[in-house]
Amino acid sequence: MAEHSRPLLLFGYSSVDAWPITYDKGSSVDPNINLKSYDRLILKGKPLIQPRLEKVPIRIPLPRKSDSIYQLQNKKK
C-alpha cells in the first residue's frame, strides 16, 4: 500500500425515468419492495411509476449464482 493513501468515494447517479429492471443487491433500496424509500433517494426531478423505454430488445439477466431456485422458493414461504 502507498505510504500516503487517500480514501476514494464514488457516487452513482441515474435518470429518474431509468427504472431498474432488476434489483442489484449492492443497491441500498429495492424499488419493488419499498417504492417510497426508493423515491426518497431522488436528488432532482419528480418520482415516476412509468419508466423510459426504447424500442430495443431487453434481456433480463439470469439470477445470480447465489440465488438458487430453492433459496428463492424458501423466501416466498
Between CA 28 and CA 24 the distance in angstroms is 9
The secondary structure of 2-71 as a DSSP string is -TT-----------TT---SS--TTSS--TTT-HHHHHTT-SSS---SS----SS---PPPPPTT--HHH
**pLDDT per position as a tens digit, 49-77:** 888 878 888 777 666 666 566 677 777 66
**pLDDT per position as a tens digit, 5-58:** 788 888 888 888 887 766 666 666 777 778 888 888 889 999 988 888 788 887
Tell me the domain boundaries of the chain. 14-51
The secondary structure element, H or E, covering residue 73 is: helix 69-76
